[in-house]
Amino acid sequence: MTSQSLPEGMIRAVSQSGPYEGYMPGFANDFETEALPGALPQGQNSPQKCAYGLYAEQLSGSAFTKPHPERTWCYRIRPSVKHTTRFEKIDVPLWKSAPHVLPDVISLGQYRWDPVPHAAEDLTWITGMRTVTTAGDVNTQAGMASHIYLVTKSMEDEYFYSADGELLVVPQEGRLRFCTELGIIDVEPKEIALLPRGLVYRVEVLDGPARGFVCENYGVPFTLPHRGPIGANCMANPRDFKTPVAAFEDRDAPSSVVLKWCGQFHRTQIGHSPLDVVAWHGNYAPWKYDLRTYSPVGAILFDHPDPSIFTVLTAPSGLEGTANIDFVLFRERWLVAENSFRPPWYHKNVMSELMGNIYGIYDAKPKGFVPGGMSLHNCMLPHGPDRNAFEGASNAALKPEKLDETMSFMFETRFPQHLTEWAAKAAPLQDDYIDCWESLDKKFDGTPGVK
């Protein structure tokens, strides 16, 4: 991204040698960046007077007393108290929050959906959000919601932020630009982006229509999983996460800011752009990550490992080893296990699993689970390969095989996921999905030997 590609009126950090590339590498680093030289104070956070007449303001993403707290110091044209006035409630009918348990919707079952078709109407990031499931309780900051976004129109003089949680964005079609208080992120399929709780931003369509998936995390922020015996390398490496350099707008125009708070939506009217952070330093910031840099680890002799070995990010809960949410990636990889059933095995799980297909064919479901589609296997409901996958893997010649041109993911949570009315009645649900196991044969006949 070059400085010429920025939105009109937006100024980004520059160095003596010219524009930065736009991003700084690292995960949860303590970054510092300035869009104007000398805007960032040195040696202290809140000087009596800031350069350029800026205001110093702290954005805290965690309690002050948390070990290694998440916070960023911002040096901005106006303090955030100038970016809100009186609020009015607004209706965003298809964006739901937990708890959202409906008496006439059955969430118990194995579900799968075709891709949600693009709409003919203009849809922004806010109006195009479609909630599929909710889990936990947004008021106690535990659990999550999963969404599909359908975006055809850029936000114009409209901005958004959520007090309810961070948003993990997984594009499937189209390209989006997130113009945030702390810099600009462009994201496309095979990449993900993270928008922290409380961060103000505007979403623009670079290549549309755009469709993708969102995990709204009500709880502790996503972090990298503990690698344990795997060691210091592979999986998601910290250097591959990219945080934007500072960029700001100094623009007066009638504007609106939409706030999501405790599952409700409110709008406030202001007279300027709130994206006015000229410099910042800290570890609480948005980022993007290229899923093609994820280095999977797997079985190199026999058996299929637990899917947790493919975890990209985890949001811990209060129960050790049991995540509020795991983000898991199933991408291209080699299968080499000997004398083994190589696809994911049949399973009942205390965790609830919502999967989405970014592109390609998923090995446990070669038919029906198509790019843009998704599936839900709730807590303690059995699932696994269909007959074609089972028979194919049971009788295949076990030579080294590369799973190529495939990328699916999973939002996995410790909480049961409840369907919204939209997911149960309006989204393209595959009513015959449960039948994919109907043709599995009984092979047991009481005689010894492999059948």
- Of 407, 243, 403, residue with least CA distance to 328: 407
Give the integer Cα–Cα distance in Å for 148 and 214.
6
Classified as helix, coil or strand, 208 is strand
- Of 51, 46, 47, 55, residue with least CA distance to 36: 51
- Beta strands 264-272; 71-76: pairing state: unpaired
Residues in the chain: 451
Q: Which of 83, 118, 281, 304 is catalytic?
A: 304
Q: Cβ contacts of residue 32 below 8 Å, gap of 6+?
A: 40, 279, 280, 281
- Beta strands 247-249; 241-244: pairing state: unpaired
- Beta strands 14-15; 10-12: pairing state: unpaired
Give the integer Cα–Cα distance in Å for 279 and 72.
10
* Whether residue 266 lies in the annotated active site: no
Give the integer Cα–Cα distance in Å for 292 and 284.
24
Q: Cβ contacts of residue 9 below 8 Å, gap of 6+?
A: 249, 250, 251, 273
User: Other CB atoms closer than 10 Å to residue 133's CB: what's the count?
Assistant: 27
Question: What is residue 115's DSSP assignment?
Answer: P
Strands (E), 345-400: 352-360, 374-377
Q: Which residues are identified as catalytic?
A: 304
